Structure 1
């Protein structure tokens, strides 16, 4: 395992102490652990006489780069998203420490926001529409977000990292080729590209955090990413599309469903790669298997086959197919 991707609790805590000494000087503060993510550790920091902030200790730049994270691209996207009103503002970045301090936004993760879930889906649709409308900027180019070729790159990295596990799940990986055959190209835009439950804060406002894997790609990829990783129902998919697109569009829905598969299998492939280079205290084998189980449930269902068959036929089967969402 490469030491450059290791972010131990001890190292993270030392970096937090130094960052807060710079940020508040001798003012009293205390930190409450928010999460130990796969590539960072986060705290709410309560400061005497001031508003709380969020501090993140990040994986070292070299280690981050080895798994497709570019800190300059991440920070530029986060700043842009904050200016659009869809992400918290970064207050200061201590690049030598790998610590970022951001404004604190009241909220909970998407899965825990039970009563606010319907409103959050609408908020996310509108946030993605705003994000995707931004003029593409070369600063945000990222090999792993390029449609289809980015997935091939992730697939080959996983195969190289753990050939045995890759072969074990070939049944889940092989349908990628079907999606590639159907893809015809679209204008690229800036994607968040990691819309997991923990990267969505739902409260009085809904905000997107953790822009590590952002890049230019197919706008429908973010829709499928959110739907898959946050386990949206068919009805919730319809709400997402209608508030993103302005009206229901069967082709958007079909691609949402294909990207729902693609992005969950990409997450599983990422887990395979991290079994070789990931943090020692993280169980990436279990994480990859969890994601592959989601893939199995999805590709065996009517929703995936409806998307493939509809796009192959090139017809509006939303009104004709018995597995159409409009027939649910």
Structure 2
């Protein structure tokens, strides 16, 4: 659901009172520019210490209202450390809503770019590495999407939101009928969270948690409107082959993701009005 993220490039506001001049273990940082508005629930900056570059993220109260699990994110970042799948964790202060990761060079993919067969294969290989080689953090609870969508519906209010939540849960339940071994999942591999370069890596792990590995694939397919052939190609690479039960599960999850996305985006707007 991040991917549901709303990234907004903007000019730096170096007078922001939120920017601490020093961070434990790093010392004094120089803030270069604001990278994103985080959809209203966080603020992200590119910072420097000498030649080193870091990404510094500050939470807003909306994180708690939206039910984002920063403990799960921290566990995921620790699990992928030094595996070449994402940014290295540098510092985290969960009560203070502060996260520092090492900046990764590269260019964010575009939705159209993910229709390129070579890039799609590369992404499938990366997701397979994540799902099959990184043990899920033992202290992190599995992603409970049904609980999340009902929470989003409660934030939105109204019959339509509750109906959409029930539809999402039906799709999730249908997909769960084809049991798969839980894996550590990114849960938001949308184009802007995929960096291409010498190696393909994933950023923005704030929705990461153990769960159904097919949900990562459903986000890629559903968010970018990939066709059946592209979906099957991604599934074949990410799972090693296209098993009929996996294809049925992926189809249900793509449908479910569409409703999860609608609820998430509406919940973000509802929380913005509360703030």
Correspondence 1:58 to 2:52: no
Give the Å deviation of 1:195. 2.0
Q: Which runs of 5+ in 2 are unaligned?
A: 1-11
Correspondence 1:273 to 2:267: yes
Asked if the contact 2:167/2:259 (under 8 Å) is kept, the reply is: no
Tell me the residue number matched to 2:46.
44
Matches within 5 A, 1:2-81: 13-19=16-22, 23-25=26-28, 29-38=30-39, 39-47=41-49, 49-60=50-61, 63-81=62-80
Asked if the contact 1:220/1:256 (under 8 Å) is kept, the reply is: yes
Q: CA–CA distance in 1 between the matches of 2:141 and 2:91? A: 24
Asked if the contact 1:68/1:213 (under 8 Å) is kept, the reply is: no
Cα shift readout 1:226-278 (whole Å, capped 9, x = no counterpart): 22123323332232112112223333222222211212311211223333323
Structure of greater relative contact order (alpha carbons < 8 Å, 6+ residues apart)? 2
Q: CA–CA distance in 1 between the matches of 2:162 and 2:93? A: 41
Other structure's SS at 2:92 match:
strand
Q: Which runs of 5+ in 1 are unaligned?
A: 1-8, 282-328
| Distance change >3 Å, CA 119–CA 103, structure 1 → 2 | farther
Q: Report the structure, 1 or 2, having the larger strand content.
A: 2
| Distance change >3 Å, CA 218–CA 11, structure 1 → 2 | farther
Give the Å deviation of 1:95. 4.7
Give the Å deviation of 1:207. 1.2
| Distance change >3 Å, CA 279–CA 93, structure 1 → 2 | farther
> Could you say what the CA RMSD is over the residues aligned between the two structures, in angstroms?
3.3
Q: CA–CA distance in 1 between the matches of 2:139 and 2:212? A: 16
Other structure's SS at 1:222 match:
helix
| Distance change >3 Å, CA 175–CA 193, structure 1 → 2 | closer
The one of 166, 173, 180 equivalent to 1:180 is: 173
Q: CA–CA distance in 2 between the matches of 1:130 and 1:252? A: 18
Asked if the contact 1:56/1:100 (under 8 Å) is kept, the reply is: yes
Asked if the contact 2:13/2:34 (under 8 Å) is kept, the reply is: no
Give the Å deviation of 1:170. 3.8
Large movers: runs of 4+ above 6 Å: 9-12
The one of 167, 170, 175 equivalent to 2:160 is: 167
Other structure's SS at 2:67 match:
coil
Tell me the residue number matched to 1:197.
191
Q: CA–CA distance in 1 between the matches of 2:27 and 2:51? A: 10
Q: CA–CA distance in 2 between the matches of 1:170 and 1:11? A: 44
Larger Rg: 1
| Distance change >3 Å, CA 192–CA 50, structure 1 → 2 | same
Cα shift readout 1:296-317 (whole Å, capped 9, x = no counterpart): xxxxxxxxxxxxxxxxxxxxxx
Other structure's SS at 2:34 match:
strand
Q: CA–CA distance in 2 between the matches of 1:234 and 1:170? A: 27
Tell me the residue number matched to 2:235.
241
Tell me the residue number matched to 1:229.
223
Other structure's SS at 1:42 match:
strand
Matches within 5 A, 1:291-302: none
| Distance change >3 Å, CA 92–CA 140, structure 1 → 2 | same
Correspondence 1:123 to 2:130: no
Cα shift readout 1:176-206 (whole Å, capped 9, x = no counterpart): 4255246323322222112223222222221
Asked if the contact 2:66/2:152 (under 8 Å) is kept, the reply is: no
| Distance change >3 Å, CA 46–CA 249, structure 1 → 2 | same
Q: What TM-score, normalized to structure 1?
A: 0.67
Give the Å deviation of 1:24. 4.3
